[in-house]
A and B are shown apart, each in its own frame.
Chain A
Amino acid sequence: MSLPAYFLADLPPDAPLTPRLIEEACLTLQRNRELYLVPRSCAQIIALLEELGRNWRRPDDPFRQLAVSEGPQQTGFSRATLEQGLDNFFSQLTETNMRRLLRQDLGEETALDDYHPAVDPRRCCRARGPRLLVHFSPGNLPDPTFHAIVLGLLVKSAQFVKCSSQAGFLPRLLAHSLRALDPKLAACLELATWPGGRTDLEDILLQKADCVTVAGADDTIQTLRQRVPVTTRLLAYGHRVSFGYIAYATSNETSLESLAEQAAADVAAWDQAGCLSPHLFYVQTGPDQHFPLRFAEALAMALDRLEHVQPRGTLPTGKAAQIAARRELYAIRAACSGTTRLWCSPNSTAWTVVYEEEPDFQLSCLDRFVYVKPVIDLARALRAAESIRAHVSTVALAAPAALRKTLANQLADWGVPRICPLGRMQQPPLTWHHDGRPALGDLITWTDWEMEPPSSPPAS
């Protein structure tokens, strides 16, 4: 890839990174923020980000072209999966959405620019983003890193993104595309990548940051949490698990094939790598006791069709072995027990559907490996999913309009932070509450200005 060496992540892999280098980078970022970012209004930043999003959706954009041509080798996702994932993300990056996000999380679109009267008439408030925002980015897919960078720019923070050593490619392209558009803004952004265990480098970041976001494995977060200074805010996004629920009555409104295609799209998006991807689909049995089984079969056919237009990425042998080993077990169960069925891609591990009557939640090994389980109703599904209740992220809901609100309330009461239509699991809106929290609002610190009471007229 022929990108100029501008960010630390552009250096050759063997270039030595030292704590001093990281410290100097942090100081430079903070200085550049004062010069280039703080003076700008949110409206100016929004206009720039919208242009960035527009560029990334153009087929001739050089950064997009690099992403989709070299991405398969660099990221393990196929070209079609990359194109779809990038389109989904950047189509959200509109002025309307960003203004909505500011209003939603801060109350005012210009809350970061100036004071605004609070509800209490004796007070004005102004929002401030962190001076230095540090992101420890996940290694599975680019969306969370893209989202984090966008939020950081909106709150006018200098940002240091420590990318996973395997997943720096797309964030680098985003950073370079920003630099091509506005070098001064890009001077407020740094990206670096290093293998795990460099606590000497990480500790500098933790000391210099006002706020740290981390997305990754729970044990990574646990380790980091213990090292973050008490004055630094830590926003941790641990691993989450998602699933789908398909109410029987929805089959009266939507064909089985459409339902299966929507579910297949959810399984195929980012090759099921993200926390928002479904591990399984609970399907309600109804008068047609075989509806869940028929759905599983239709899902298998849909995944097979999808494989021709949006193939799964090439897997390392270890991951393929996980799929192969699980398939073997389910194939034996299917042969010996009669309550299990298995459909899978021939001569490859590209996709797998396992139907099991036993309803307990089962984590998938991912990479387009999904379970279908029949349940009598949503309450039964939620009882069966109790083991992942504290980790649930998204539930895709397919139900007739008349039932949706009741089911959505049931899901909210159970603790589900996001409910979406089938087929949209990996497309959260820019304004979404990440793991149930205001992602932009959590970055903010407020300055409250309590006004002096109007002077009373002198007593006469």
Chain B
Amino acid sequence: MSATGVISALTRFAEHWLSIWDPMHRRADHWPPEAWHEDLFNELALELARLQYAHNPPYRRWCEARGIAPSRIDHWSRIPAVITSAFQEFEFSCLPPSHRSCVFYSSGTTRGKPSRHFHNSLTLRLYEASLWWAFQKALLPEILSGPHPQLVVLMPPPDQAPHSSLVYMADTIRRQLGYSMDTFLGTADGTGLWHLDASRAWTRLRTLAEQGRPVLVLATAYTLVQLLDTPGLTPHRIKLPPGSRVMETGGYKGRSRALTSDELYRWISERWGLPLTSIVSEYGMCELSSQAYDSRFSQGDTQAPKVESERTAQPRSATLRLRRKFRFPPWVRVQVIDPETGTEAPHGRPGLLRIFDLANVGSVLAIQTEDMAEALRDGFRLLGRATGTRPRGCSLLAANGAERADSTDSHL
């Protein structure tokens, strides 16, 4: 098929995809039951897998090696998945090279090479729709009725990080909410490292706090630690207005001291005067076009938090301990794979997370991550990165760069 033919086929699928979920996302602050319909997902997944088999040469070779042709399977769970590390070596893309207008790189590297996810205007349109709809449901449930919160993005602007799928996501959110580029408070240097002027960020937050409108902060975990570690202002605490919220994502990459999620959340809560239910964790990666969130923002303590919670036994640390349950939007399914057998693990048993993302139109819809997770009835819990742990008998792996050392932050 010619390049034009490939693009036409992908466009038809993308238009179909949009026509299904666009009306559903407008209808309510929750996805309607039909959005999760198994037959709908299965039909679209098989159609997309066939398209990708036909137009994505390395994927076709992989399917052939596995002896699985998407045209001969009848369930999405049998679609061959591609491990994320393979995106560092092979161009898993349906887009002909002349049609690739944008590429996102992962931050984690093996042998210095990042994962690559190629896009064009069509696949970016899908990415934007997918990320915005899921973000809205998780962090802006009142979007249709209330005023927009004021946006603060603790990341570099897109012109300084043009290959970051996360910055692209933040910029899409900025455009949707109608804010200017000065919402981006971070910078990126020539080596790609991200920096934050903590003093400036604190000043901005205090100013916004004084204005009394809710604030929406988008940040990576390590930027938050950087900010909270170097307050830059006295006093080191502010009180963000009610309705303020934080979207936190990603690991630490060894660039700041690592905190557990509990510690980080407690710290944000104490320093910014926010209930723990105002902090929402996002899980995404450059190889995907959709994100999972560990809860939905809920305003005020009177509403039941949507996260599972429990009280710790020790009175001194009687804080709400968040047990982070992630959920993707309805065009995504996950499986947790028992690594020993390669089959799906029962609920509650750890394994490798496999994601089937129907918004991943231009590359591969079935992504095998290196993240450990356990499946729950209506979501999954992240347990860390499999390759981040050191093999016994040798401590050299981390030093020679043969492994990705960080966790769940590969779409920075």
Instruction: Identify which of B22-30, B78-86, B146-154, B240-248 touches chain A.
Output: B78-86
Known: A315-B340, A335-B65. A366 touches B86 (CB 8 A): no
Please name all residues of chain A whose beta carbon is closer than 8 Å to the beta carbon of B342 when the two chains form the complex: 324, 347
Instruction: Identify which of B31-39, B129-137, B212-220, B385-393 touches chain A.
Output: B385-393
Known: A335-B62, A363-B402. A239 touches B351 (CB 8 A): no
Decide yes or no whether B341 CB sits under 8 A from chain A: yes
Looking at the complex, which one of B66, B86, B352, B396 makes contact with A388 (CB distance below 8 Å)?
B396
Q: Digitize A123-139: 1 where CB-to-B-CB distance is under 8 Å, 0 elsewhere.
A: 00000000000000001
Instruction: Verify B387–A366 contact, CB threshold 8 A.
Output: no
Looking at the complex, which one of A277, A328, A336 makes contact with B83 (CB distance below 8 Å)?
A328
Decide yes or no whether A274 CB sits under 8 A from chain B: yes
Instruction: Verify B82–A332 contact, CB threshold 8 A.
Output: yes
Q: Digitize B334-358: 1 where CB-to-A-CB distance is under 8 Å, 0 elsewhere.
A: 0001111110000001111000000
Q: A325–B367 Cα gap in the complex (Å)?
A: 12
Please name all residues of chain B whose beta carbon is closer than 8 Å to the beta carbon of A363 when the two chains form the complex: 391, 394, 396-397, 400, 402
Instruction: Verify B65–A322 contact, CB threshold 8 A.
Output: no
Decide yes or no whether B164 CB sits under 8 A from chain A: no
Residue of B nearest to A273 (CB): B393
Instruction: Verify A329–B386 contact, CB threshold 8 A.
Output: no
Decide yes or no whether A241 CB sits under 8 A from chain B: yes
Decide yes or no whether B64 CB sits under 8 A from chain A: yes
Instruction: Verify B83–A322 contact, CB threshold 8 A.
Output: no
Instruction: Verify B90–A319 contact, CB threshold 8 A.
Output: no
Decide yes or no whether B61 CB sits under 8 A from chain A: yes
Q: Digitize A311-332: 1 where CB-to-B-CB distance is under 8 Å, 0 elsewhere.
A: 0000101111111111011011
Known: A329-B86, A332-B90. A366 touches B390 (CB 8 A): no
Instruction: Verify A349–B339 contact, CB threshold 8 A.
Output: yes
Instruction: Verify A325–B370 contact, CB threshold 8 A.
Output: yes
Please name all residues of chain B whose beta carbon is closer than 8 Å to the beta carbon of A362 when the two chains form the complex: 402
Please name all residues of chain A whose beta carbon is closer than 8 Å to the beta carbon of B232 when the two chains form the complex: none
Residue of B nearest to A390 (CB): B396
Residue of A nearest to B371 (CB): A321
Residue total for B at the interface (Cβ-Cβ under 8 A)? 38
With both chains docked as a complex, state the minimum distance between the C-beta of B70 and any C-beta of chain A, in angstroms. Answer: 15
Known: A329-B83, A336-B90. A322 touches B61 (CB 8 A): no
Decide yes or no whether B368 CB sits under 8 A from chain A: yes
Decide yes or no whether B372 CB sits under 8 A from chain A: yes
Residue total for A at the interface (Cβ-Cβ under 8 A)? 46
Decide yes or no whether B58 CB sits under 8 A from chain A: yes
Q: Digitize A251-274: 1 where CB-to-B-CB distance is under 8 Å, 0 elsewhere.
A: 000000000000000000000111
Instruction: Verify B386–A332 contact, CB threshold 8 A.
Output: no
Q: Digitize A340-355: 1 where CB-to-B-CB distance is under 8 Å, 0 elsewhere.
A: 0000000111000000
Decide yes or no whether A334 CB sits under 8 A from chain B: yes
Please name all residues of chain A whose beta carbon is closer than 8 Å to the beta carbon of B58 when the two chains form the complex: 332, 335-336
Decide yes or no whether B302 CB sits under 8 A from chain A: no
Instruction: Verify A332–B62 contact, CB threshold 8 A.
Output: yes
Instruction: Verify B350–A317 contact, CB threshold 8 A.
Output: yes
Decide yes or no whether A200 CB sits under 8 A from chain B: no
Please name all residues of chain A whose beta carbon is closer than 8 Å to the beta carbon of B82 when the two chains form the complex: 332
Looking at the complex, which one of B65, B340, B395 makes contact with A320 (CB distance below 8 Å)?
B340
With both chains docked as a complex, state the minimum distance between the C-beta of B109 and any C-beta of chain A, in angstroms. Answer: 14
Please name all residues of chain B whose beta carbon is closer than 8 Å to the beta carbon of A241 when the two chains form the complex: 394, 396
With both chains docked as a complex, state the minimum distance between the C-beta of A215 and any C-beta of chain B, in angstroms. Answer: 11
A-contacting residues, B375-410, CB 8 Å: 386-387, 389-397, 400, 402
Q: Digitize B54-80: 1 where CB-to-A-CB distance is under 8 Å, 0 elsewhere.
A: 000010011011100000000000000
Please name all residues of chain B whose beta carbon is closer than 8 Å to the beta carbon of A322 when the two chains form the complex: 386-387, 389, 391
Total contacts A to B, CB within 8 angstroms?
120
Decide yes or no whether A218 CB sits under 8 A from chain B: yes
Instruction: Verify A349–B370 contact, CB threshold 8 A.
Output: no
Decide yes or no whether B263 CB sits under 8 A from chain A: no
Decide yes or no whether A333 CB sits under 8 A from chain B: yes
Known: A324-B339, A349-B340. A274 touches B393 (CB 8 A): yes
Residue of B nearest to A217 (CB): B395
Give the interface centre of A141, A219, A321 by most chain B CB atoms within 10 Å. Answer: A321
Instruction: Verify A336–B372 contact, CB threshold 8 A.
Output: no
Please name all residues of chain B whose beta carbon is closer than 8 Å to the beta carbon of A384 when the two chains form the complex: none
Please name all residues of chain A whose beta carbon is closer than 8 Å to the beta carbon of B396 when the two chains form the complex: 218, 239, 241, 363, 388, 391
Decide yes or no whether B308 CB sits under 8 A from chain A: no
Instruction: Verify A317–B339 contact, CB threshold 8 A.
Output: yes
Please name all residues of chain B whose beta carbon is closer than 8 Å to the beta carbon of A348 when the two chains form the complex: 340-341
Instruction: Verify A272–B393 contact, CB threshold 8 A.
Output: yes
Please name all residues of chain A whose beta carbon is closer than 8 Å to the beta carbon of B83 when the two chains form the complex: 325, 328-329, 332
With both chains docked as a complex, state the minimum distance between the C-beta of B158 and any C-beta of chain A, in angstroms. Answer: 31
Residue of B nearest to A279 (CB): B394
Decide yes or no whether A250 CB sits under 8 A from chain B: no
Instruction: Verify B339–A321 contact, CB threshold 8 A.
Output: yes
Q: A335–B90 Cα gap in the complex (Å)?
A: 11
Please name all residues of chain B whose beta carbon is closer than 8 Å to the beta carbon of A334 when the two chains form the complex: 65
Please name all residues of chain B whose beta carbon is closer than 8 Å to the beta carbon of A329 when the two chains form the complex: 83, 85-86
With both chains docked as a complex, state the minimum distance between the C-beta of A355 and any C-beta of chain B, in angstroms. Answer: 15
Decide yes or no whether B43 CB sits under 8 A from chain A: no
Please name all residues of chain B whose beta carbon is closer than 8 Å to the beta carbon of A366 when the two chains form the complex: 391-394
Give the interface centre of A140, A217, A362 by most chain B CB atoms within 10 Å. Answer: A217
Decide yes or no whether A387 CB sits under 8 A from chain B: yes
Decide yes or no whether B89 CB sits under 8 A from chain A: yes
With both chains docked as a complex, state the minimum distance between the C-beta of A273 and any C-beta of chain B, in angstroms. Answer: 5
Decide yes or no whether A365 CB sits under 8 A from chain B: yes
Residue of B nearest to A366 (CB): B391
Please name all residues of chain A whose beta carbon is closer than 8 Å to the beta carbon of B349 when the two chains form the complex: 317
With both chains docked as a complex, state the minimum distance between the C-beta of B85 and any C-beta of chain A, in angstroms. Answer: 5
Q: A391–B400 Cα gap in the complex (Å)?
A: 12
Please name all residues of chain B whose beta carbon is closer than 8 Å to the beta carbon of A274 when the two chains form the complex: 393
Please name all residues of chain A whose beta carbon is closer than 8 Å to the beta carbon of B62 when the two chains form the complex: 331-332, 335-336
Decide yes or no whether A234 CB sits under 8 A from chain B: no
Instruction: Verify A332–B86 contact, CB threshold 8 A.
Output: yes
24 cross-chain CB contacts under 8 A: A140-B392, A241-B396, A315-B340, A317-B339, A317-B350, A318-B389, A321-B352, A321-B370, A321-B372, A322-B387, A324-B352, A324-B386, A325-B85, A328-B83, A328-B85, A328-B368, A331-B62, A331-B65, A332-B82, A336-B62, A347-B341, A363-B394, A387-B400, A388-B396
Beyond A323-B339, A348-B341, A387-B400, list 17 extra A-B contacts (CB 8 Å). A140-B393, A217-B390, A315-B340, A317-B340, A319-B389, A319-B392, A320-B339, A321-B370, A321-B372, A321-B386, A328-B85, A332-B86, A335-B61, A347-B342, A363-B396, A363-B402, A388-B396
Interface residues of A (CB under 8 A from B): 139-141, 217-219, 238-239, 241, 272-275, 277, 279, 315, 317-326, 328-329, 331-336, 347-349, 362-367, 387-388, 391
Interface residues of B (CB under 8 A from A): 58, 61-62, 64-66, 82-83, 85-86, 89-90, 337-342, 349-352, 368, 370, 372, 386-387, 389-397, 400, 402
Closest 9 A/B residue pairs (Cβ) = A335-B65, A321-B386, A324-B339, A328-B83, A217-B395, A320-B339, A321-B339, A332-B86, A320-B340
